Structure 1
């Protein structure tokens, strides 16, 4: 039994003299949602297409649930299900008939029980007998996931799966992915919707200009004890507070100072120390505001992207 759902090693793609993807390596644990993040054109879709053998690799290897894509192509491909673009179906047929049609074309027999199982897993029991032309985009996405799961893959690969979904549809889709991981299925998902990926993923990798520039866990990002925080103190005497900070918080980075408040970048322990020093020296602390580090903050820090550019990209379909 393989320990990893997916291992990507030194994945590289050159087209003529241009490097599209350069020496990308990462792995995905079983039952994990792993995100590929980056702006449009960063190389996310190229990486996914190489993993799925939709395009060739210049260099590197792909191992799916222990099977090397080069030496055990059939076995490794059978371990993957994917939605690389918006799923297409016969719109005049019901969701059930579309799944049945796909099952009939599969290499291995897919039982009626399995079809019913995936329908239930993606929450389409009430709509599966309706024609696909009546489905919302979110329902078609779920039907696409059901189709991708019919042959019981260990890894589900999704490229920008929430494109075009409204906030409610995105939330529902996120919940469906979480239910899949409870069944032991791993998920590789690419997106440029940073706030959504922070809610969806267990770990993430940031891709920029075809290179992997950072890989980390969402838990670490959310753990304020491990990260610096943007902290604002609203105090009675900012000028005196500034003098005390210079004496007692030499490692703190002061980012802003006004007639009412002081903003710093500090860790959790230093925040408590500053508060204690201010109070002990007769300064009233009216409010302490903490801005948690977000995935967008980390993305901006690592890629140097302009904040407005990231916000604009977040709404490109």
Structure 2
């Protein structure tokens, strides 16, 4: 059995002479939350719609839990749960009766206790017997997740799942996804809310103009050995002069009277600290500054656009 919940190989979508998705490949590991990021129109939703077979592929392969979608379509899809747009339900039925309806439609047998399990997992125990028309948007999203995982899929795919949710609803939804991942379900999620993706995902891919431009771990340091740090000192102006004199290759910016922002190789940071102390600069704190996902996203997509326009 494959060690990946999802493998996308050279996925391509063309409409006429226009290439919407261009040779995209990535893998989603078992038990991880993988984010698909990109500006509006980058091709994220097209990729997802091809994976779940809502639209045809122009080229490429989709393998779900080791099963090729072209060769074993039914078995591959049985390992998949998805919410591609806002989940739709029979509004005049209760949440429970909606889940019973989906249970009867499932390809594989679902034990009677499973509805209770997924209801508890998404936190709908108190409202599951209420009519769906009384549910808030957040509750409907949670019911959608319950329906999507009812048959215990190995992979859950969500396209913009937090659209319309308030901050509390987004936080709760993030916690439900982490709980699913901890129990072994892999999640592929597309979203434009970068701050939420930073808290939610283990790894991410950035799509720009239909092409995959980077795949990275959320905690991964930049491939170069350059680190951004902030020194808190008693005299940032004098400290900056010393750094310029002894370490002319270091990136440098004074941030107020007691803050000094420095970009330098990792092994250079303690040398800078030693030099400052030897020159009677008081160093109160050294803070490692990690770029936010938003900053990394803008940096990467900005470079891609410059290259495209060149």
* TM-score (norm: length of structure 1): 0.88
- Offset at residue 189 of structure 1 (A): 0.3
Partner of 1:312: none
In structure 2, relative to structure 1, the CA distance for the partners of 1:86 and 1:250 (3 Å cut) is: same
Query: How many positions carry a matched residue from both structures?
Result: 303
**How many Å separate the matches in 1 of 2:69 and 2:245?**
60
Partner of 1:187: 187
Partner of 2:308: none
- Summarize the alignment of residues 290-301 of structure 1 with structure 2, pairs less than 5 Å apart: 290-301=288-299
- Offset at residue 270 of structure 1 (A): 3.2
Structure 1 residues 29-82: Cα deviation after superposition (integer angstroms, max 9, x where no partner): 111110001111111000000000111111110000010011111111111000
Partner of 1:117: 117
**How many Å separate the matches in 2 of 1:237 and 1:98?**
64
Residue range with higher mean Cα deviation, 226-235 or 43-52 = 226-235
Residue range with higher mean Cα deviation, 240-249 or 196-205 = 240-249
**How many Å separate the matches in 2 of 1:297 and 1:107?**
44
Contact kept? 1:119, 1:128, Cα under 8 Å = yes
Q: SS of the counterpart of 1:282?
A: coil
The RMSD of aligned alpha carbons is 2.3
**How many Å separate the matches in 1 of 2:232 and 2:132?**
55
Q: SS of the counterpart of 1:118?
A: helix
Determine if the alignment matches structure 1 residue 197 to structure 2 residue 197. Answer: yes
In structure 2, relative to structure 1, the CA distance for the partners of 1:115 and 1:226 (3 Å cut) is: farther
Determine if the alignment matches structure 1 residue 106 to structure 2 residue 86. Answer: no
- Offset at residue 259 of structure 1 (A): 6.4
Partner of 1:20: 20
**How many Å separate the matches in 1 of 2:225 and 2:243?**
22
Partner of 1:5: 5
List runs of 5+ in structure 2 lacking aligned partners: 304-310
- Summarize the alignment of residues 292-311 of structure 1 with structure 2, pairs less than 5 Å apart: 292-304=290-302
List runs of 5+ in structure 1 lacking aligned partners: 306-317
- Offset at residue 92 of structure 1 (A): 1.5
Residue range with higher mean Cα deviation, 289-298 or 30-39 = 289-298
- Summarize the alignment of residues 62-101 of structure 1 with structure 2, pairs less than 5 Å apart: 62-101=62-101
Contact kept? 1:11, 1:23, Cα under 8 Å = yes
- Summarize the alignment of residues 98-247 of structure 1 with structure 2, pairs less than 5 Å apart: 98-221=98-221, 228-231=227-230, 233-236=232-235, 238=237, 240-247=238-245
- Offset at residue 262 of structure 1 (A): 3.6
Q: SS of the counterpart of 1:198?
A: helix
Contact kept? 1:229, 1:268, Cα under 8 Å = no
Structure 1 residues 155-207: Cα deviation after superposition (integer angstroms, max 9, x where no partner): 00000101111111111111111111122110000111111111101110011
In structure 2, relative to structure 1, the CA distance for the partners of 1:101 and 1:211 (3 Å cut) is: same
**How many Å separate the matches in 2 of 1:164 and 1:185?**
25
- Offset at residue 121 of structure 1 (A): 1.7
- Offset at residue 22 of structure 1 (A): 0.7
**How many Å separate the matches in 2 of 1:235 and 1:102?**
65
* TM-score (norm: length of structure 2): 0.90
**How many Å separate the matches in 2 of 1:178 and 1:258?**
39
Determine if the alignment matches structure 1 residue 249 to structure 2 residue 273. Answer: no
Residue range with higher mean Cα deviation, 176-185 or 260-269 = 260-269
Contact kept? 1:61, 1:69, Cα under 8 Å = yes
In structure 2, relative to structure 1, the CA distance for the partners of 1:185 and 1:286 (3 Å cut) is: closer
In structure 2, relative to structure 1, the CA distance for the partners of 1:135 and 1:253 (3 Å cut) is: same
- Offset at residue 132 of structure 1 (A): 1.1
